[in-house]
């Protein structure tokens, strides 16, 4: 029945729907900030509250000038505390029954919020909805499209289906129930949150709700080692919780997720190494590959098997 609802024609606007709070946490004056905010202020769904949490931006005057172009924003300023704390502050201030998150370099089509609201309205039992992700470059050119699918609990714990903060809309009561983002995490905070939310109730893929994730110089080579380590920590935390709960099925799922993290370490090191080589940084490229081998010794073979399997 749920699949039939989502497959139906939903061209009519949602009437009398819930308020949606869209939260941005930022600590800089991003060159893409205006485009990100434009994409949310121009949503076809009328009941959207935009909350911007200034997480210790060093140039608050310049940031305030940019934000001043958008009347009606709820702006919260705080000391630099990290993205998890900043988003939790936004959740505390949110008035909406539904909450979404966007970064200062993301971009959304005009009907993105409306599609998510429709799914939540028709399927009120879901904890969160998630869409697809399109990668774009600094100039907005298409780099690739990651089309997701409907996931169950095991898909999420194995990370066969990835759900990112910027691609989901969550019921606020579910966010409050699980305690929001972990303040201990500056990386992989969305993975940890999604794992906890998936234990609360079903998730729903919204086909065609595509957000633009921008790949640019600031985020290509930044923090991949910290991300790999943080994902490992998150897997350890949830494995311990699954063991305590007697959920051997989830323990097995998380073992699969750990193997995927090794492949990600190898892939990300390759990407950074190629970037370094293009700029003449041969020594730095070698260091990246050596780090990947130390971080995940079996990952190169696992990655190769996965690639060969896709071609066969």
User: What's the mean per-residue pLDDT of the chain?
Assistant: 90
> How far apart (Å, rounded) are the C-alpha atoms in residues 34 and 301?
43
Select the more confidently predicted residue: 286 or 93: 93
Give the pLDDT mean for 86-95.
Answer: 98
Q: What is the pLDDT of residues 5-21, one digit of tens each?
A: 233 333 445 566 899 99
pLDDT at 10: 37
pLDDT at residue 64 tops 90: yes
CATH of 2-216, one of 1.10.3720.10, 3.40.190.10, 3.90.550.10, 3.40.1280.10: 3.90.550.10
Q: pTM of whole model > 0.95?
A: no
Q: What is the pLDDT of residues 139-169, one digit of tens each?
A: 999 999 999 999 999 999 999 999 999 999 9
pLDDT at 236: 98
Q: What is the pLDDT of residues 122-138, one digit of tens each?
A: 999 999 999 999 999 99
Report the half-sphere exposure of 211 (CA within 13 A, side-chain side): 31
> Is the dihedral angle over the CA atoms 190, 195, 198, 200 positive or is it negative?
negative
Considering the chain, what percentage of its residues have pLDDT values greater than 70?
88
């Amino acid at each position: 029945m749920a699949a039939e609802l989502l497959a139906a024609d939903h061209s009519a606007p949602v009437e009398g729907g819930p308020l949606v709070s869209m939260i941005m946490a930022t600590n800089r004056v991003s060159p893409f900030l205006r485009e990100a905010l434009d994409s949310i202020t121009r949503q076809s769904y009328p009941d959207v509250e935009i909350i911007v949490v200034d997480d210790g931006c060093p140039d608050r005057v310049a940031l305030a000038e940019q934000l001043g172009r958008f009347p009606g924003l709820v702006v919260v300023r705080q000391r630099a505390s990290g993205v998890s704390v900043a988003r939790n502050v936004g959740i505390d201030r949110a008035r909406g029954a539904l909450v979404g998150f966007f970064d200062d370099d993301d971009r959304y089509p005009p009907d993105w919020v409306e599609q998510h609201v429709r799914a939540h309205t028709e399927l009120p039992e879901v904890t969160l909805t998630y869409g697809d992700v399109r990668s774009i470059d600094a100039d907005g050119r298409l780099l690739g499209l990651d089309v997701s699918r409907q996931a169950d609990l095991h898909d999420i714990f194995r990370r066969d289906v990835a759900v990112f903060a910027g691609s989901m809309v969550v019921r606020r009561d579910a966010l409050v129930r699980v305690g929001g983002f972990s303040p201990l995490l500056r990386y992989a905070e969305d993975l940890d949150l999604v794992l906890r939310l998936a234990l609360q109730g079903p998730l729903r893929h919204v086909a065609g709700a595509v957000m633009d994730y921008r790949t640019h110089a600031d985020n290509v080579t930044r923090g991949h080692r910290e991300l790999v380590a943080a994902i490992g920590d998150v897997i350890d935390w949830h494995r311990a919780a699954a063991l305590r709960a007697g959920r051997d099925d989830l323990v097995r799922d998380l073992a699969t997720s750990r193997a995927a993290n090794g492949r990600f370490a190898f892939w990300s090191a390759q990407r950074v190494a190629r970037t370094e080589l293009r700029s003449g940084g041969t020594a730095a490229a070698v260091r990246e590959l050596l780090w990947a081998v130390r971080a995940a010794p079996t990952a190169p073979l696992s990655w190769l098997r996965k690639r060969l399997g896709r071609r066969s």
